[in-house]
Homo-oligomer: A and B are copies of this chain.
Amino acid sequence: MHQPTAAMLVIGDEILSGRTRDANAHYLAGQLAGAGIRLTEIRVVPDDAPVIVDAVRELAARVDHLFTSGGIGPTHDDITADCIAEAMGASIGVRDDARAILEAYYRPGELNEARLRMARIPEGAMLIDNPLSQAPGFTLGNVHVMAGVPSVFRVMLDGLLPRLEGGPVTLSHAFRVMLPEGELAAPLRQLAETHPQVSIGCYPFFRLGPGATLILRSADPVRLAAAAAEARAMLAERVAPEEIEETPPVNNPE
């Protein structure tokens, strides 16, 4: 029942300056949840080599898989590959397999010095396919280095993820009611105490009035169903059954 753990390192000044809203962390979070890999941290750092190197060392040591996005293009601000190599103690240079991919993609004469930087891959790394714009990502140790452009990040992750060992998938069971969370807090606390293996979250919203979404989560379908039954009964004491919007697990393996 071990769930592998993961962290995400988003690299890029443009996120921290507010110019760009990161989309990759959210996409990764959803994909990892479906694969039974538990995402424990997302961190966004600037294009600053010492900061990137420190973050890679710290996070790679703490989780089973570290995913990075950004900074692997041809321009001077693309420093991720070199930082990963430094953090992991690997040498780095233009590698023949990566160069061959770029040579096949560009027209003769187009593969200039800057573009060749995209073939700089640390020694010992395994390439990650990029069917969209060819320049590959790579996996070095437990660090998976991918592009920042969302469409490229997605195709890279979609190719990579099936190769990683997942754990039991966390299932979620949701209830949505038009009740303020302040009235649900006491019974929910009791529910959480009775079912310590089920994670119970309550998320308020305001739409014509105060409402709340309860999310029960567990990798164990039996325990989840037991907690959900109690939650349903608790809500039915407060609103009519037809006013409870219920979403049972979609990936239930049973």
Q: Give A contacts to B, CB under 8 Å.
A: 10, 13-22, 25-26, 28-33, 38-47, 73-77, 110, 112-115, 117, 133, 149, 151, 170, 172, 181-186, 188-189, 192, 199-206, 215, 217
CB distance from A108 to the nearest CB of B (A): 14
User: Does the CB pair B42–A15 fall under 8 Å?
Assistant: yes
Q: List 13 A-B contacts (CB under 8 A).
A: A16-B29, A16-B38, A16-B39, A17-B39, A17-B217, A18-B26, A18-B30, A18-B33, A21-B26, A47-B201, A76-B188, A76-B200, A115-B182
Residues of B within 8 A of A192 (CB): 76-77
User: Does the CB pair B16–A42 fall under 8 Å?
Assistant: yes
Residues of B within 8 A of A43 (CB): 41-44
Residues of B within 8 A of A217 (CB): 13, 17
| Partner among B19, B41, B77, B182 whose Cβ is within 8 Å of the Cβ of A200 | B77
Residues of B within 8 A of A39 (CB): 16-18
| Cα distance A197–B31 in the bound complex, in angstroms | 40
List 13 additional contacts besides A22-B26, A43-B44, A75-B188; criterion CB under 8 Å: A15-B29, A17-B29, A17-B172, A18-B26, A18-B29, A21-B26, A41-B43, A41-B45, A42-B42, A42-B43, A75-B181, A75-B184, A75-B189
Residues of B within 8 A of A189 (CB): 75-76, 114
User: Does the CB pair A185–B114 fall under 8 Å?
Assistant: yes
| Partner among B15, B32, B73, B186 whose Cβ is within 8 Å of the Cβ of A202 | B73
Residues of B within 8 A of A113 (CB): 186
User: Does the CB pair B77–A13 fall under 8 Å?
Assistant: no
Residues of B within 8 A of A133 (CB): 206
Residues of B within 8 A of A110 (CB): 182
Residues of B within 8 A of A32 (CB): 18
Taking CB as reference atom, which chain B residue is nearest A29? B18
| Cα distance A215–B75 in the bound complex, in angstroms | 13
CB distance from A211 to the nearest CB of B (A): 12
Determine which residue in A202, A203, A215 has the highest number of CB atoms from chain B within 10 A of its CB, and name it: A203
User: Does the CB pair A114–B186 fall under 8 Å?
Assistant: yes
Residues of B within 8 A of A201 (CB): 13-14, 47, 77
